[in-house]
Structure 1
Amino acid sequence: MVPFKAGAEFLLSGTAHPPKAGVRAMEVEAALRFNDGSQWRKTLLIAGERQWKKNLLGAAPTDAKALGPLPLRYEHAFGGVDDKRDKVDKRNPVGRGFAHRGRVEPGQPLPQIERGPRFIVRPTEQPEPAGYGPIPSHWQPRLEEQKGFDLKALEDGHCPYPRNVSASLFNCAPKDQRFPQAFQGGEQLSLRGFFPDHPGAVELELPQPTPEAFLVIDNRWQPLTLQCDTLQVDTDAGELYLVWRVGIPWPVSDPREAWVLVQAPHSQAEHETEPHAEQEVTA
C-alpha cells in the first residue's frame, strides 16, 4: 500500500497466448475507452526465442523459434547485465539483450517482448523495456524520484520523505499507462492476445459503484471522498482489481483515536439515514 498517487494508472499481469501453433510472432493489446470519448491503447510485440549470431557486418539475430505461451515478465523484455564489461541496464536489470555499446556476444538472447513498431535487428538498438507491469522503485526512471530519502527518519518511526516529493512518487506503472484523472466507472476495457480460448478481443465495462468510506472520530461519522487511482488486471487468474484511495490530514501530535470504515454502496433510501455501527463494514 502507498499513501498517494498522481492521477490514475493501469497495471496488467498475464501471459501472451499465440493464436495458433507454429507462429513465431504475435501481438498483445490492452485498450481503454474513457467516458469522455478519449481512448488509450498499448500494443506489445511478442516473438519466439532469438539469439545474436556473427555475420560479415558484426552480428544479426537468428530466426525466431516457434512461439509458445509467454509470461509477460520483465525478464523477457530488453535489459539485463553485461557481466563482461560490468555494466547494467538500470531500467530493467533482470531483462535480456543488453550489451554495453552494443557489443553483443554470439548466442546472447534477444528480448521476446518489445514495444515496436518493429523487432530489434541491430546490436546498437537499446529500446525501452516493454511491459504492462509495475516498475520497482529502485529501477529507472522511478529511481530519480527517490532522492532525499532519510533512512534515519525511517528508523526513528518518522516520514522518510522530504516535503517537496514528486506527486508521482508512488506511481509504479510505465509512464504510458498513467492518466491525469481517476477512473469513474463505466470505462470500456479491451484485452487481446491474453486468453488461449479467445484469440479476439475480450471486452468489459468497469463497474460504476464506488465504496463508501467514513472517518469515525469523537463518535461522529465524517464521509470521505474516495478516488479510484489504480486498475489492475490479472489475465491468468481472470481477475480485475480497482483500488480506491483517500488522504486524511492528521497532525502527529493529535492523540485521539479514529477509525476508517469502508462499506459497499447503498441504495438512495439508505443514503438518507445516518450509517450505524451495526451495519456490516470492512475496515
Structure 2
Amino acid sequence: MLGGWRVTDPTPVSEVPLDYRYAFGGHYSLPDGDALANTLYYPDNPAGRGWLPSRADYKRVSSEVARYLKPDLNAVTQLPAPQLEDPDWLVTSPFDRPAPAGFGPIAPWWEPRVSYQGTFDEYWKTQRLPYWPEDFDYRFHHSAPADLVAPDYLRGDELMILTNCLANSQAIMVGDRQRFRHRTRLPGIALQALTEHASGQRGNTPLALDSVVIDLDHEDVSLTWRALFPLDDPLKQVRIRRTPLAALSSTGGARHVG
C-alpha cells in the first residue's frame, strides 16, 4: 500500500465482547476444498482481525493457495482494526506480530499450545501410541493466555478483582478516568478424593485447584480440581470430601503441591 498503513480515529463504544474475534489475527481461505489445507491463518489467533500475511507466511501453504490468495490480499487497502489490544503493544500495521490480547481459553491447535504437543511421526505411531510423544510439553494443557497462567496451584481463597468487566460494578475514579470494579473471592474450600482401588487399597488424595473460569455473561465462576491416579490399579470407588481452608489451616492439613 503506497504511503503505508495507519489506524483511523476510533469511534466510542459502550462495550466490546472479550472475544478473540476482536483481537489481532485472522485467516483467508480458498472458496472450496479442504478447509485447513486451503487456509492461510495467523497461528496465534485464526479467529481475529487486522492481519495480512507476510512473504514468510505464504510459505506455510501450498503454492496453489498462495497463488490464489496473493492478488486479492495485495490489493487490500483497509481492514477492521483489532478492538482488543495490549496497551504495551499496540497494533499499527497488519504486518505487526503481537500476541493476541484476550482472556479466553486458547484452542489446542493455536500457537503456542500446538507447539507444545510434541512430534507425531512414524516413531510415535509405532512406539508411543496412544501415549503422548516423548517431546511432549505439559504446557500444552495451559489453555489460558500466558499472562494468566498461575506459577503454582491456586489455594482456593484468592481475591479476584474485575475492572471494567461488569456494568453493575462499583464505580471508582482512577486518576481522571472512571472505572467499574467488582471484587469477590474464591470460596475457600479444599477437596480430597477418598478412593478405593481394584487392589483393595484405599487413599485420601488432596485435589489440586488448577483452573478458574469466569463467565461474565452469566456472572458465575467455575473451578476445576484435579489429581493423578495410577493406571495399573484402577479406581473402584471415589468420594469427594469438601473442607473449609480455615479448618485445614488450624489443624495443619496437607496441601497438594505436585
The TM-score with structure 2 as length reference comes to 0.70
> Which residue in 1 is equivalent to 2:141?
170
Looking at structure 1, the residues matched to 207 and 6 of structure 2 have their Cα atoms a distance apart, in angstroms, of 52
CA RMSD of aligned residues (A): 3.2
| C-alpha distance in structure 2 between counterparts of 1:104 and 1:77, whole Å | 23
Tell whether the 8 Å contact from 1:104 to 1:123 is kept in structure 2 after alignment.
no
Pairing 1:75–2:75 present: no
> Are the aligned partners of 2:118 and 2:137 in contact in 1 as well (CA < 8 Å)?
no
The match for 2:45 is 92
> In the TM superposition, what are the counterparts of 1:1-283 in structure 2 within 5 Å?
57-82=3-28, 87-101=40-54, 105-117=76-88, 119-149=90-120, 159-198=130-169, 199=171, 200-217=180-197, 221-251=202-232, 258-265=236-243
* Residues 1:206 and 1:96: Cα distance change in structure 2 (over 3 Å): same
Higher strand share: 1
* Secondary structure of the structure 2 residue equivalent to 1:169: helix
SS of aligned partner of 1:213:
strand
Q: Distance in 2 between matches of 1:196 and 1:176?
A: 24
Q: Which has the higher contact order (CA 8 A, sep 6+)?
A: 1
Residues 262, 153 of structure 1: alpha-carbon distance in 2 compared, 3 angstrom cutoff:
farther
Whole-angstrom distance in 2 between the partners of 1:194 and 1:118:
21
What amino acid sits opposite 2:92 in the alignment? V
- Quote the Cα distance in structure 1 between the aligned partners of 2:82 and 2:13: 13
For 1:78 and 1:207, the matched residues in 2 are separated by 35
Higher helix share: 2
What residue ranges of structure 1 are gaps of 5+ in the alignment? 1-53, 269-283
Aligned length: 209
Q: Percent identity?
A: 26
Change (3 A) 1:185 1:104: farther
Q: Which runs of 5+ in 2 are unaligned?
A: 31-37, 56-73, 172-179, 248-258
